[in-house]
Structure 1
Amino acid sequence: MANDMMNRRNDLFDAMNDWFDLPRKFFDDTNVAKLMQSDVIENDKEYVIKVDMPGMDKSNINLSYNNGILSVSGSRKSFKDMSKDNSLIHRERIDGHISRSFRLPNVVASEISAKYDNGVLTITLPKQSSDQSDNSIQID
């Protein structure tokens, strides 16, 4: 009996914690980061970004580079693999729209290239070459 009362009390507090935790979960973007895990590599000539985007069709991925910010977004439509004779018991595959942005300055926007292979998007952003001429002014 005491054990049953403790379980009821724990269920009540668990429900309250879920309710009060809802705003944090709603605005928490860690789930997006888990969906779009990425590596950013920099060398003297370029940035290379690899973004995991499994299950996305290449035609549903969008890239843009404006004002030093690379934006990567993608969408996945609803899954239609349910037959009329079956009912869904558990669902983890999601559909919807996700996006991330990366601040990468001094990029030659016209030379950005991207490749999508086996669920990994690889974006190469060439850096602007520094002007080799000496811009210093001698004072006489």
Structure 2
Amino acid sequence: MANDMMNRHNDLFDAMNDWFDLPRKFFDDNEVAKLMQSDVVENDKEYVIKVDMPGMDKDKIHLNYNNGILSVSGSRKSFKDMSKDNSIIHRERSEGHISRSFRLPNVVASDIHAKYDNGVLTITLPKQQAGANDHSIQID
């Protein structure tokens, strides 16, 4: 019984915190960044990006590289693991669509490779070799 009272007390304060925190969450672009935490590494030959996307199905993740910008997006539908006889006490897992973009110039788009393993998306973007876009112009 005491535990029930504590939970009700916490639920009240959690609801108040969610309400007062709503304007910051609504306007804070970093909320998406928290959902899609990533590391970007660069060396002479390539960029390697690792993006945390736990709970996503591989077929619901989409990648696009255009004009030097890599876009990563994913969507997740509702969870069906709750039976009708149980009531939800606390829910943190969300459903919806998230996306993020990275500016990575001089990439060979046809050689981009991606792998999804244990909730981590790893994208390898090979760089163009120096001089690949250089064109000599002859003067008449």
Q: Could you tell me the TM-score, scaled by structure 2's length?
A: 0.78
Provide, for residues 68-94 of structure 1, a one-character-per-residue CA deviation record: whole Å limited to 9, x for no partner: 000000001100111111011100001
Q: Report what 1:45 is aligned to.
A: 45
Instruction: For structure 2, list consecutive stretches of 5 or more residues without a partner in the other structure.
Output: 1-14
C-alpha RMSD over aligned residues: 2.5
CA 1:19/1:79 → structure 2, altered by over 3 Å: closer, same or farther? closer
> Matched residue of 1:101: which SS?
strand
> Matched residue of 1:31: which SS?
helix
Q: Which moves more between the two structures, 26-35 or 38-47? A: 26-35
CA 1:131/1:79 → structure 2, altered by over 3 Å: closer, same or farther? same
Instruction: For structure 1, list consecutive stretches of 5 or more residues without a partner in the other structure.
Output: 1-14
Percent sequence identity over matched residues? Answer: 86
Between the aligned partners of 2:23 and 2:117, the Cα distance in structure 1 is 36
Residue 22, structure 1, aligned to residue 19, structure 2: no
Structure 1 residue 23 displacement after superposition: 2.9
> Matched residue of 1:129: which SS?
coil
Q: Could you tell me the TM-score, scaled by structure 1's length?
A: 0.78
CA 1:19/1:121 → structure 2, altered by over 3 Å: closer, same or farther? closer
CA 1:34/1:17 → structure 2, altered by over 3 Å: closer, same or farther? closer
Q: Highest Rg: 1 or 2?
A: 1
Tell me the number of residue pairs that the alignment of Structure 1 and Structure 2 aligns.
Answer: 122
